[in-house]
Amino acid sequence: MLDFRIATFLKLCETKSYTKTAKMLNITQPSVTQHIKYLQRKYDCKLFIYEGKTLSLTPEGEYVRTQAEAMTRMCAKVVSDLQRMKDNQNVLRFGCASEIGEAVVTRVIGKMMASKPERELSLCIKSTPELLKMLVNGQLDVILADESYKNNKFISSPMASVKYAVYASPELAQEYDKPSLKSLMEERLIVRERGLSDRDALEYYLMQKGFLINEFYDVMTVNTAISLQELSATGAGIVFAYASSVQDAVAQNRLQEVALSDFSEERRLAFLYCKDDEIENDEEDYEDDIDDEDNMSNIDQNEYLANEYEQEERFSEFFQKFKETWNEEFTC
C-alpha cells in the first residue's frame, strides 16, 4: 500500500549506506539514489546530508522517517485485520454497556452459548462511549446500550425496558418512606464518570426536576459498576442505576430500592449497529434530516426502510434469542 520508495528510504535510515541498502534490498545502488531523489522532489526537501563521510538525516528527514514508520505499522495492521476478518467472518462481535449490568448480560450470553449456536460470538463489556467508538471503527458488529444513544450513524432495534431507580443499603433505605427527590439531597450521591448512560440519565432527570448533581450533600465519582454497588451496599451513599445492573445485589439484600414519591422512570435498551456504507451514501443528501420523514419522498422512505430491514435480518436470530433469554434471566 505504501510507495515502494518508502521502504528504500527506511532501509537507508537504518544502514546509513547506499551500498548496504542496495545489497539488502537486492537492487542497484543507482536505484537507491533515484528512490531518495524522487522522495526529495516529492516532499520538496532534503532528507539526507553528509557530515564528513557520515550520512545523516536532516530534521525534515527525521520527521519523514517517524511518519513513514507509523504508516508502515498501520499498513501491517490493515493486512492483519483483513486476514482476521476473513478468518472470523462467522463471529458476531457483540458489545454491552457496562452500565446495564455485566452479571446479567454475561449469564444471558452464557445460556445462549450453552445451546451451541451455529454462529460464534465474542463479547465485549465496556462503557457506552467506548463501545460506540468501537462500533464506528468497525471493531464491533452490534452493541446493547441505552436507546438514547441512537443517532444518524446507527440503526436501533428495541430490546427491553428497564427500571431506572434509586438504591441504597437496606439500613439507609429503611430510613425513608416514599421520600421526595429533594429530601435525598442530604445524602451522599455515588455516580459513574461523565459520559456514561446512567450518569447522563440522572443529570437529565435532575434537570427536569430543577436540580443539579452538585446539590447533593456530597458527590463521589467511581469508574466501575462494582465499585458503585459495593460502596452503596456499605451505606456510603445512594446510587441511581438500571435495575438490571443491581439485580444480584438486590436479590442478596445488599441493596434496596428507595421508592420516591416524585420519581419513577424506565429506560429503553436497544441493539445499535452501524448502517451499511451503501445506506450512508444513499442518504448523504439528507442524513441530517433522517428522522424527519416529511423530507423524504415515498421512494426514499421505502428504500431506506428496506435497507434497514435487510441489515436487521443479519442479526434477527441473535436479537430474538437474546430477548428470550433476557426475559428468563432478568427478574427485577
DSSP state of 151: -
Exposed e or buried b for every residue in 257-282, given b needs 16+ CB within 10 A? Answer: bbebeebeeebebbbbbbbeeebeee
Q: How long a stretch of residues is the chain?
A: 332
Listed in sequence order, the residues at least 6 apart from 243 whose beta carbon sits closer than 8 Å to its beta carbon are 162, 163, 164, 165, 250, 257, 332
Summary mean pLDDT of the chain: 85
pLDDT, tens only, 261-299: 888 889 999 999 987 643 333 333 323 433 444 444 454
Choice among 105-114, 127-136, 271-280, 292-301 with the minimum mean pLDDT: 292-301
Range 153-157 average pLDDT: 90
pLDDT score of 254: 96
Choice among 21-30, 134-143, 183-192 with the minimum mean pLDDT: 134-143
pLDDT, tens only, 74-91: 887 777 667 766 665 678
Q: Residues 187, 237: contact at Cβ < 8 Å?
A: yes
* CATH class of this structure's domain 4-87: mainly alpha
pLDDT, tens only, 226-237: 999 999 999 999
**Could you confirm whether domain 92-161+275-327 is CATH 3.40.190?**
yes
Which band of pLDDT confidence, cut at 50, 70 and 90, is reported for residue 210? very high
Q: What is the distance between the alpha carbons of residues 272 and 270, in angstroms, rounded to a whole number? A: 6
**Could you confirm whether domain 162-267 is CATH 3.40.50.300?**
no
- Report the SS3 class of residue 303: helix
Which band of pLDDT confidence, cut at 50, 70 and 90, is reported for residue 117? confident
Q: Residues 130, 216: contact at Cβ < 8 Å?
A: no
User: Where are the chain's structural domains?
Assistant: 4-87, 92-161+275-327, 162-267
Of 137, 47, 36, which is closest to residue 95 (Cα–Cα)?
137
Range 36-51 average pLDDT: 95
Let me know if the fold of 92-161+275-327 is the same as that of 162-267: yes
pLDDT score of 257: 95
Q: Residues 272, 154: contact at Cβ < 8 Å?
A: yes
Cell of 217: 450533600
What pairing do the DSSP bridges indicate for beta strands 154-168 and 218-222? Answer: unpaired
| pTM (two decimals) | 0.64
